[in-house]
């Protein structure tokens, strides 16, 4: 299995470096894992690897258009989320929340989030602009719920408490009660920022990493790259992210060669580790 994963990483790296279709011969000649295999063994391994990549969401499609001389494999299925984000008719956060609700209900192997039933109750309270109360960290809270969001494998409630916007982890909420009065405020959900979206929580970091590791693990956290430089097999990349826990997961999985960040951001990461 280790060799299969290594070949898949190499395949993704190869396709990422090319802008046109790639022939079967080019793939075999340019991947060390395939190069010394017989034609029969290569075909068998390549077909198995394509199946694994398909399960990961990457489709290798063979293009053979008789009207062009450009033929070979291309990679697809990697831009679906980007297309959804760019569509002004789609509320991306509602889409993501709905997606996770469907996955939890259809996949019997998934454990439901604790307090999963609170999601529909809080959604109704948000729509009706009601006040709610609950116990959080052994303290009674009375808040105006403003929005729900699924982030880093957890559900969060964004709410206003004592004229301050705060974020509450759904699984820590206990004894939820919904008020009777509706239309208690005129605030809009689109104006709320969850705690990880606040500028004070922005992490700026420089990472020195093997480029194929970045390609494989980059989707485990939300971030933007402000600059990229290649030094041989090493990618030097400057990142901005509000997703602190996702960044920590990325660093653990990708095992970068070196990272650089200022004291403030170092302390933020240490606080997240100690939570």
User: Has residue 83 been placed in a domain?
Assistant: no
User: Has residue 158 been placed in a domain?
Assistant: yes
User: Has residue 129 been placed in a domain?
Assistant: yes
- Residue 267: which CATH number? 3.30.70.240
The 3-state secondary structure of the chain reads CHHHHHHHHHHHHHHHCCCCCECHHHHHHHCHHHHCCCHHHHHHHHHHHHHHHHHCCCEEEEECCCCCCCCEEEEECCCHHHHHHHCCCCCHHHHHHHHHHHHHHHCCCCCCCCCCCHHHHHHHHHHHCCCEEEEECCEEEEEEEEEEEEECCEEEEEEEECCEEEEEEHHHEEEEEECCCCCCCCCCHHHCCCHHHCHHHCEEEEEEEEHHHHHHHHHHCCCEEEEEEEECCEEEEEEEECCHHHHHHHHHHHCCCEEECCHHHHHHHHHHHHC
Cα separation of 225 and 228, whole Å?
Answer: 7
- Domain extent at residue 204: 199-274
Same domain, 257 and 235: yes
Same domain, 114 and 128: yes
pLDDT reported for residue 110 = 46
Same domain, 94 and 180: yes
Cα separation of 158 and 32, whole Å?
Answer: 50
Domain boundary among 139, 172, 194: 194
Question: How would residue 97 be classed by pLDDT, with cut points 50, 70 and 90?
Answer: low
Residue keyed to tokens 């190499």: 10
Same domain, 205 and 185: no
Same domain, 93 and 190: yes
Taking alpha carbons only, the member of 182, 119, 172 closest to residue 148 is 119
Same domain, 221 and 251: yes
User: Has residue 132 been placed in a domain?
Assistant: yes
| Residues paired with residue 100 on neighbouring β-strands, in sequence order | none
pLDDT reported for residue 229 = 92
Higher-scoring residue by pLDDT: 155, 134 = 134
Domain boundary among 168, 194, 220: 194
Same domain, 261 and 166: no
Q: How many domains does the chain have?
A: 3
Domain boundary among 179, 194, 209: 194
pLDDT reported for residue 142 = 94
User: Has residue 162 been placed in a domain?
Assistant: yes
User: Has residue 97 been placed in a domain?
Assistant: yes
Same domain, 216 and 269: yes
Same domain, 185 and 114: yes
Same domain, 113 and 67: no
Same domain, 96 and 71: no
User: Has residue 204 been placed in a domain?
Assistant: yes
- Spell out the residues 6+ positions from residue 103 whose beta carbon is closer than 8 angstroms to its own: 110
Tens of pLDDT, residues 174-223: 999 999 999 998 876 555 666 555 555 678 899 999 888 888 888 777 78
Q: What is the pTM of this model?
A: 0.41
- Residue 62: which CATH number? 1.10.10
Comparing 61-65, 208-212, 221-225, 228-232, which segment has the lowest mean pLDDT?
61-65
Question: How would residue 19 be classed by pLDDT, with cut points 50, 70 and 90?
Answer: low
Burial of 250 (0-12, 13-18, 19+ CB in 10 A): buried
Same domain, 175 and 251: no
User: Has residue 84 been placed in a domain?
Assistant: no
């Amino acid at each position: 299995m280790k060799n299969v994963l290594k070949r898949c990483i190499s395949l993704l790296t190869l396709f990422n470096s090319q802008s046109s279709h790639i022939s079967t011969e080019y793939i075999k000649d340019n991947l060390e894992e395939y190069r010394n295999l017989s034609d029969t063994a290569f075909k068998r391994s390549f077909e198995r690897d394509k199946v694994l990549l398909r399960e990961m969401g990457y489709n290798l499609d063979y293009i053979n258009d008789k009207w062009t001389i450009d033929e070979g494999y291309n990679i697809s299925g990697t831009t679906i989320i980007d297309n959804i984000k760019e569509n002004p008719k789609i509320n991306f956060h509602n889409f993501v929340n709905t997606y996770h609700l469907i996955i939890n209900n259809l996949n019997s192997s998934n454990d439901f989030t604790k307090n999963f039933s609170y999601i529909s109750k809080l959604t109704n309270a948000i729509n009706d602009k009601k006040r709610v109360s609950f116990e959080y960290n052994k303290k009674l809270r009375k808040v105006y719920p403003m929005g729900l969001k699924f982030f880093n494998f957890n559900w969060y409630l964004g709410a206003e408490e004592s004229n301050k916007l705060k974020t509450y982890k759904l699984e820590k909420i206990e004894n939820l009660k919904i008020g009777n009065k509706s239309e208690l405020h005129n605030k809009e959900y689109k104006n709320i920022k969850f705690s990880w979206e606040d500028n004070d929580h922005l992490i700026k970091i420089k990472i020195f990493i093997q480029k194929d590791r970045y390609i494989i693990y980059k989707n485990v956290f939300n971030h933007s790259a402000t600059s990229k430089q290649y030094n041989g097999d090493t990618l030097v990349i400057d990142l901005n992210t509000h997703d602190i826990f996702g960044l920590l997961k990325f660093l653990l999985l990708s095992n970068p060669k070196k990272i650089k960040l200022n004291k403030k951001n170092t302390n933020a990461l240490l606080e997240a580790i100690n939570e």
